[in-house]
Structure 1
Amino acid sequence: MNNPALQGSGEGDLVQVPLSALEHYAYCPRQSGLIILEDAFADDAATVRGTLLHQRVDTPGNRGRGTVRTLHALPVWSDSYGLTGICDTVELHDDGRILPVEHKSGPYHPGGPADIQAAAQAICLEEMFRRHVPEAAVYSAADRRRHKVTVDDELRARVRQLALTVRTMHTTGSLPPPAADSRCRRCSMATSCMPKVLAGTRRYRQALTDLYTLDDFQDDAP
């Protein structure tokens, strides 16, 4: 797969990693690999809900409300981290504060993959606006509220490490192994991933053993 979003533009440039790939990898490395390396994706009820939610916020433009200017579907990037993507919503406050707001259809999980994506957006905005962005937010439609994300040194280090890991996966073309755990039940890509088969679960290994094991009576056959 030749994905232009992942290609460096010149010698010494970092291969660009999409912001969404960080979240996918943080949730499940194999899911991220299937999307990036094999251009695979499948919809289910959860992904459709997410698409419908983003249709309301991903129309490019800006709006004013009181002392806040709101930008929608803002393209962002960071050359130092090698990141590129689009922010759902960015609020520009009159005191100079910049707040990226990532929209999610499902419930919020503190410290989860959504925090990684929101922090990566803040890092991109810092580089573009040359202004410190210490906070981000994740809006959960399921919770009907925003959740504050503190973009501290630890979270920044997680973003940098994940970007490096995803970049390495892309350049080597190595697809991560399946998780084969509770995440698979909620994944729209479980059919194409075949986690239980490829993970070598006990039932699969036993079936494989039985398939290639000769019965005693076969050994005695003339």
Structure 2
Amino acid sequence: MISGIQHFIFCRRQWALIHVEQQWAENRLTAEGEVMHRNAHKDSFVEKRPGILVTRGLRVSSSRLGMTGQCDVVEFYASDSGAVIQGHRGLWDVVPVEYKRGKDKNDDSDMCQLCLEALCLEEMMGIHIPFGYIFYNEIRRRRKIELTEDLRNRVEKAAAEMHEYFRRGYTPKVKTSKKCQSCSVKDLCIPKLCRNLSARAYLEQALKEGENL
């Protein structure tokens, strides 16, 4: 799934728990995000304005990268070059827009998801997409993302790594950090356990702590 790359860049263990082991848990952040994306994903919805078409929930895929999913919003602008759209005259520039619940992150996981969506659109429509946008609901602002070669290369490398992990059924160990506190699968991941040298050492420590209560 295209959306999986955001999990993968954020934390490879989180991605493996969800997509390889098929484990999931909701928290407030994921529930709020689900509500926002449910509103964004209105299948077959097309908004028409002079020189602009806006679609929501557009399904995209890439056979080259082995990825499939939905774009929150894709905007099409009438242009002298670009994509041909069935049922509409002329050519169109294509701009994907990814919606996120919170605010701008310190990592580039959101940018990688947007870039992967753009790569799927490019393959499907035979065009080049130079940029897209991420809309952050908490601050009600768009951020323009340039789809550079470095970003594209990172996304393609991550996609290949995801397929390799999935083929092997591999779940990596966690690299604990502050972001573990907001992770929806924290209780399934048990980062404290993964941080210790062994499960035995963790259990021995837990027993000692219990004796001191």
Q: 1:71 to 1:206 in 2, by over 3 A?
A: closer
Please tell me whether residue 199 in structure 1 is matched to residue 183 in structure 2. Answer: no
In the alignment, is the contact (CA less than 8 A) between 2:73 and 2:97 conserved in 1? yes
Query: What secondary structure, in the 3-state scheme, does the structure 1 residue paired with 2:20 have?
Result: helix
Match of 1:30 in 2: 13
* Match of residue 82, structure 1, among 36, 41, 66: 66
Match of 2:84 in 1: none
In the alignment, is the contact (CA less than 8 A) between 2:26 and 2:184 conserved in 1? yes
TM-score, with structure 1 as normaliser: 0.82
In the alignment, is the contact (CA less than 8 A) between 2:196 and 2:202 conserved in 1? no
Please tell me whether residue 140 in structure 1 is matched to residue 123 in structure 2. Answer: no
Q: 1:210 to 1:128 in 2, by over 3 A?
A: closer
Aligned-residue offset at 1:110: 6.2
Aligned counterparts of 1:160 and 1:115: Cα–Cα separation in 2: 13
Aligned counterparts of 1:41 and 1:209: Cα–Cα separation in 2: 28
In the alignment, is the contact (CA less than 8 A) between 2:134 and 2:145 conserved in 1? yes
4+ long deviations beyond 3 Å:
204-212
Match of 2:33 in 1: 50
Aligned-residue Cα RMSD (Å) equals: 2.1
Instruction: State the one-letter code of the partner of 2:61.
Output: W
Aligned counterparts of 2:202 and 2:35: Cα–Cα separation in 1: 43
* Match of residue 73, structure 1, among 48, 52, 57: 57
Instruction: State the one-letter code of the partner of 2:31.
Output: V
Aligned counterparts of 1:210 and 1:106: Cα–Cα separation in 2: 35
Match of 1:189 in 2: 185
Name stretches of at least 5 consecutive residues in structure 1 with no aligned partner. 1-17, 213-222
Query: What secondary structure, in the 3-state scheme, does the structure 1 residue paired with 2:184 have?
Result: coil
Identical columns (%): 28
Per-residue CA distance 1:48-81 (angstroms, 9 max, x = gap) = 1101111211111211123210111111011222
Instruction: State the one-letter code of the partner of 2:33.
Output: G
Aligned counterparts of 1:42 and 1:112: Cα–Cα separation in 2: 23
Please tell me whether residue 102 in structure 1 is matched to residue 95 in structure 2. Answer: no
What does residue range 143-154 of structure 1 map to in structure 2 within 5 Å? Answer: 143-154=139-150
Name stretches of at least 5 consecutive residues in structure 2 with no aligned partner. 80-91, 209-213
Aligned counterparts of 2:177 and 2:97: Cα–Cα separation in 1: 30
Aligned counterparts of 2:2 and 2:206: Cα–Cα separation in 1: 45
Instruction: State the one-letter code of the partner of 2:51.
Output: T
Match of 2:123 in 1: 127
Instruction: State the one-letter code of the partner of 1:24.
Output: H
Q: Which has the larger radius of gyration?
A: 1
Aligned counterparts of 1:50 and 1:116: Cα–Cα separation in 2: 18
Match of 2:87 in 1: none
Q: 1:186 to 1:201 in 2, by over 3 A?
A: farther
Aligned counterparts of 2:96 and 2:152: Cα–Cα separation in 1: 15
